[in-house]
């Protein structure tokens, strides 16, 4: 049973003005509580006090289970510079590291520093340090934690996609992973694969392709293929072989359904 008890809490920055005073409330197990107020009144500061990140000037906070605080500015430090402990608001991974137990946080910081040192000037010393950091990260369950984080992120994105569709999921991915997306060289997926994923995401049957026509001489044939998905209007495409025709048909359906957009000239 998790309980948060705040009694007579006050907070003032060292040498500064008082942010708030005489804050008292209790949040019982299972309760959903919200702090509502204009910017600058100390909502985030109060949450920092509850999570143990800040020390109040007066009063007390009692929590009988672990409490974590997610920074409201996640994604704002897009430059990705500085040590990881100063960048908990930069990426989803660093946020999850920040919210992990202290051993995981320390091991992640050591691993990042070792990776940067080895990238900057690889030698026997940096190689040994990196190897030791990798072993320590593994021994503490760091890679297992990363697997759980991956699964959690996939579940969250899946829920967003199921509720709001492709564009909603795209906005979340761009907001949380924009710096990483810009540095990844991604191969453009083929239209048939994307169409199959689109159909599966909507719990539709898999696409079926049929040859409609073959025209032209044997040395330069022209194929026409049609793609069918139950509950969706079919589309056709043409190509120099069956595969190209099927890809063209899949592309036509993706463009029509708004999954892909045709490039704008100029």
Indicate the number of domains in the chain. 2
pLDDT at 225 (0 to 100): 95
Residue 186 lies in a domain: no
Give the domain-ending residue among 41, 63, 85. 63
Which of residues 15 and 70 earns the better pLDDT score? 15
- On whether residue 47 sits in a domain, the answer given is yes
**Does 222 map to a domain?**
yes
Query: What is the b/e burial string over 235-260, where b = at least 16 CB atoms within 10 angstroms of the residue's CB?
Result: bbbbbeeeeebbbbbbbbbbeebebb
Q: Give the residue among 260, 265, 262, 264 at the shortest CA–CA distance from 189.
A: 260
Query: Could you tell me if residue 53 is inside a domain?
Result: yes
Rounded Cα gap, residues 103 and 187, in angstroms: 37
Single out the residue in 47, 63, 79 at which a domain terminates.
Answer: 63
SS3 state of residue 109:
helix
Give the pLDDT score at 78.
Answer: 42
Parent domain of 42: 4-63
pLDDT band at 263 (very low <50, low <70, confident <90, very high): low
For residue 264, being part of any structural domain is answered with no
Tally of CA atoms within 13 A in the half-sphere of 89 that contains its CB: 8
Q: Is residue 183 part of a domain?
A: no
pLDDT at 1 over 60: no
pLDDT tens, position by position, 207-240: 999 999 999 887 788 999 999 999 999 999 999 8
Identify whether 75 is part of a domain.
Answer: no
pLDDT digits over 174-203, tens only? 877 776 666 655 555 688 988 988 888 888
Residue 5 predicted with pLDDT over 80: yes
Q: How far apart are CA 20 and CA 56, in angstroms?
A: 10
Return the CATH number at 204: 3.30.160.20
The tens digit of pLDDT for each residue in 113-151 reads 898 888 888 888 888 888 899 889 889 888 888 888 888
Residue 250 domain flag: yes
Last residue of a domain, one of 28, 44, 63: 63
């Amino acid at each position: 049973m998790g309980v948060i008890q705040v009694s007579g809490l006050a907070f003032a920055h060292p040498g500064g003005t008082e942010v708030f005073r005489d804050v008292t409330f209790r949040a019982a197990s299972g309760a959903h509580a919200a702090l509502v107020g204009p910017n600058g009144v100390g909502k985030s500061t109060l949450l920092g006090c509850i999570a143990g990140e800040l020390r109040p000037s007066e009063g007390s906070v009692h929590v009988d289970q672990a409490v974590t605080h997610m920074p409201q500015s996640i994604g704002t430090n897009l430059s990705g510079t500085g040590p990881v402990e100063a960048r908990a608001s930069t990426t989803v991974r660093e946020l999850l590291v920040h919210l992990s137990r202290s051993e995981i946080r320390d091991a992640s910081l050591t691993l990042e520093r070792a990776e940067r040192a080895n990238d900057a000037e690889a030698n026997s010393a940096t190689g040994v340090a990196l190897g030791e950091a990798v072993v320590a990260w593994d021994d503490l369950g760091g890679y297992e934690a990363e697997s759980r984080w991956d699964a959690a992120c996939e579940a969250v994105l899946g829920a967003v996609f199921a509720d709001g569709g492709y564009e909603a999921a795209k906005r979340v991915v761009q907001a949380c992973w924009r710096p990483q997306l810009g540095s990844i060289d991604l191969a453009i997926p083929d239209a048939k694969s994307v169409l199959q994923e689109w159909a599966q995401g909507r719990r539709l049957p898999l696409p079926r392709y049929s040859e409609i026509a073959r025209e032209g001489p044997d040395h330069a044939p022209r194929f026409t293929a049609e793609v069918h998905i139950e509950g969706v209007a079919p589309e056709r495409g043409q190509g120099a072989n069956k595969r190209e025709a099927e890809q063209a048909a899949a592309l036509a359906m993706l463009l029509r359904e708004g999954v892909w957009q045709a490039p704008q000239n100029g």
